[in-house]
Amino acid sequence: MQRRTFIQASPLWFGLPGLASAQTGYPNRPIKYIVPVAAGGGSDMVGRQFCDRFGKVLGQAMVVENHGGGGGVIASQMAAKASPDGYTLMQGYVATHGTSPATRKLPYDPIKDFSPIGMIGSTPNVLVVNANLPIKDVKAFIDYVKKNPGRVSYGSAGAGSLTHLTAELFKAQTSAFMVHIPYRGIAPATNDVIAGQTQAMFPGLAAALPHIRSGRIRALAVTGTQRHPALKDVPTMEESGLKGFDAQQWYGVVGPAGMPAAVVKQLNDAMATVLAQPDFRDKLSAEAVELMPMNPTQFADFMKKDLARWTDLAKERQINLDAA
């Protein structure tokens, strides 16, 4: 599925574009920004909110193109094969550069075929259970699962998704067995937790938050190193006794491998300007996305570590979608 949108830039935004363009001649035409999911939803929202401001800082229109399908494979191939001139960028995220390459062979290398530019932000995953279960915390949930072997199921947005691997990480750290029920997307998986068809799930906080606030599902703990501002009373998984437990739905910007260092720096500098804007932080925070500014080296290290972590888990849990 493809959707293209022009986001027009303002040449007067902060006065920055003129300084950068005078030095490098870049950018002097619109920049294509590939979002590897269909229009609508959290990832698309992040990309469009970001591009609206990114184009203004760079002084060029951003052409947002949605290319869903294949868990981001189609979009990633397009970006990897594009000219490394800075005029084709992609919103890389945990599926394109983490969980998908960890669980199956792909027609691109998530590290070698891309130039890391910078991180936008992330939203944690959250352990939720059906609201009718008499469970209030992670310890009680672990006890419940162990007392009901084979009778507790968890939903996911699909095999190999972050929601799947996060639950498998939970099983690995607790030695608790749950049956995996994969769905075609997060919405039907959430609906079945609400209805009690499944008992638990690890959705991204942005998707789960409305249902948590309505009381239709109960949040037990969030992933990450600290509590989330949107759920201040909900502890982290680590606070709940699972040391080092982490999973994040992250969003960043990449380009084709071989981009000029000066262009990468210019783009990263522009990203830093966008991420420093209070209204952008407030907009994404309202959607449970917290900004995580990084330079290209930091972002490259983050992606490598995230990929290695999920690859190790997939091997340990024998999750190989090529063999499925």
pLDDT tens, position by position, 61-72:
999 999 988 889
Instruction: Give pLDDT, residue 6.
Output: 72
pLDDT of res. 3? 66
What is the reported pLDDT for 10? 52
Q: Specify the pTM.
A: 0.90
Q: Which of 3-12, 126-135, 203-212, 214-223 bottoms out in mean pLDDT, i.e. has the lowest? A: 3-12
Do β-strands 153-156 and 126-130 pair in parallel, antiparallel, or remain unpaired?
unpaired
Give the pLDDT of residue 4. Answer: 73
* Domains, the chain, with CATH or none: 2-122+250-316 (3.40.190.150), 126-231 (3.40.190.10)
- pLDDT-derived band of residue 56, with 50, 70 and 90 as boundaries? very high
Q: Residue 117 pLDDT > 70, yes or no?
A: yes
The pLDDT of residue 2 is: 63
User: What does the pLDDT read at residue 12?
Assistant: 42
| Residue 316: exposure state from Cβ atoms within 10 A (0-12, 13-18, ≥19) | exposed
Say if residue 314's pLDDT is above 80. yes
Q: Which of 3-7, 17-21, 293-297 ranks highest by mean pLDDT?
A: 293-297
Task: Share the mean pLDDT of the chain.
Answer: 92
